[in-house]
Amino acid sequence: MFQRLFKKKIASWAFEGGSLALPEGFKEASLVIERGKIQNIETSRLASRKDSRIIDLEGMLVFPGFINAHDHLEFGLYPVLARRRYQNYVEWTQDIHEHCDRQIKAAQAMPLNDRLWASAYRNLLSGATSVIHHNPWHAEFDPDFPVRVMPSLRWGHSLEFDRVPRGLTARWDHRPFVIHLAEGVDDLARREVETFLAVGNRPLRSVLIHGIAIDPDDPNHGSDIGREAGLIWCPRSNMRLYGATARIGDLKNRINIMLGTDSELTSPGDIFGELKAAQETGFLTDEEILASVTKTPAKVFNWRGLGALLRGYRADLIVIRRETSDPWNVLFNLKPSLIELILKDGEIMVASETMMKRLQLNSPPFAGIGGTAGLPPLRGASGDAGPPEAGPRQQEAGTATSRHFSRVRAGERALWVRGPLTALLNRWRRLGWLTQGFLASVEPDE
Ligand SMILES: [Zn+2]
């Protein structure tokens, strides 16, 4: 009863005083959220409304939720399997199956749902509220899953492992076709570009992943590649396996460039790290790098209402504490301990203690920020996710994931994270599944 009254009372949330990464650049502006969407963005101060709560974001930066353009979510909790540098992906695959059989078997024995949830939290805690998952769809990707997964992706693995995938020549579909291509530095990888471009009657514009061996100076590659929809660049995975990446600086004027992590199998795999790695190459401008995790993938995959802070768009936001005055410097040095708030569809996914206080969410009951679901008390929510032996789904038997929060520690700071992360971290640590990677630096905090 009280909760219903409370929800009725606060119809919208307004954030003031922060610097927003708007399509035209960084600008101090106010942002109003209602029913999970950005209802308004204004450069003037907002008039106070009875049904609106105003939150001060002084000293903070606001980005649209990032889109990780390439991940294989099943490989969460896997160790990085790369013993040396390789010439191409076929050689890498053969090598790890010959020499890393024990690690592969151990990783495959971990329940699928644990691996999916580990990937989801790795993405969420590095600001990626949306992910393009390259592999079959899983029932686990429902609205309670911590990140939004691109539905109905059309994909094939690669020319070597799929030959010419059937989907490549389908005429009836307007979605882009996504495929690993030219992943390597030798002739096999170079020939793939020609083979691919020679597939006749390709009505679809494709999205190519990696493209390391695409030669912008080769007339057989360069001119035709521009007909494709986009290129997904995973710099850390590429450098780790092949010591090289695609010539993004020479390709960026011909094809849309998007940034992806790839999976934990080939890279530490978080978007914060990819942003920094991309910047260090000098291939893209700062604005182009931000676009590669926001508006470019939204446009290429026609993922509506994502990738920008615009009126009517989904309220996916990342609010970051600003430690230096240059916003680009902040973007390329992101770490979980700088996160103040992450919203997905207007719902709190991650929040610092400071932000919870500013949101006046320290006492129950309370509603989501202009989202649709009411949230339960935060107090005592941590670690109450059920027996650690259960999989992520069973852990919240009787409670929807969206209705409780975990408390974790990232660096010096405590963060509230939606869902059973505390219980999962404890379970993964106890079973020895979390020994490296991004999540290994996140501690349960009880
Ligand atoms: Zn991949």
Domains of the chain: 2-65+305-390 (2.30.40.10), 67-300 (3.20.20.140)
Give the Å distance between the CA of 71 and the centre of ligand 1.
Answer: 6
Res. 200 pLDDT band, cuts 50 70 90: low
Give the Å distance between the CA of 266 and the centre of ligand 1.
Answer: 9
What integer best gives the mean pLDDT of the chain? Answer: 85
The pLDDT of 163-192, averaged and rounded, is: 81
User: Cα–Cα distance between 99 and 97 in angstroms, integer?
Assistant: 6
pLDDT one-digit tens code per residue, 65-94? 999 999 999 999 999 999 999 999 999 999
Give the Å distance between the CA of 134 and the centre of ligand 1.
Answer: 7
- What percentage of the chain reaches a pLDDT higher than 70? 83
Spatial CB neighbours of 212, under 8 Å, sequence gap ≥ 6: 182, 183, 184, 185, 189, 238, 242, 244, 245, 246
Per-residue pLDDT at 357: 85
The tally of CA atoms less than 13 A away on the side-chain side of residue 17 is 9
Res. 3 pLDDT band, cuts 50 70 90: very low
* Ion ligand 1: residues, CB < 5 A: 262
Give the Å distance between the CA of 170 and the centre of ligand 1.
Answer: 22
E strand or H helix at 208: strand 206-210
The pLDDT of 213-226, averaged and rounded, is: 84
Per-residue pLDDT at 159: 87
Give the Å distance between the CA of 210 and the centre of ligand 1.
Answer: 8
CB atoms within 10 A of CB 330: 19
The more confidently predicted of residues 267 and 29 is: 29
Poorest-pLDDT segment among 8-22, 34-48, 382-396: 382-396
| pLDDT at position 251 over 90 | yes
E strand or H helix at 242: helix 235-242
pLDDT one-digit tens code per residue, 386-406? 333 344 544 443 334 455 788
Contact yes or no for 321/62 (Cβ under 8 A): no
0.95 cut: is pTM over it? Answer: no
User: Cα–Cα distance between 395 and 419 in angstroms, integer?
Assistant: 10
Give the Å distance between the CA of 161 and the centre of ligand 1.
Answer: 13
- Token readout for 23 is 């399509």
pLDDT one-digit tens code per residue, 310-332? 999 999 999 999 988 899 999 99
Contact yes or no for 369/407 (Cβ under 8 A): no
Per-residue pLDDT at 267: 87
User: Cα–Cα distance between 375 and 110 in angstroms, integer?
Assistant: 31
Give the Å distance between the CA of 256 and the centre of ligand 1.
Answer: 18
Best CA proximity match to 389, nearest among 430, 421, 419, 418: 430
- Token readout for 101 is 């059989």
- Token readout for 118 is 């580990």
Best CA proximity match to 12, nearest among 41, 23, 2, 28: 41
User: Cα–Cα distance between 445 and 437 in angstroms, integer?
Assistant: 19
DSSP conformational letter for 304: T
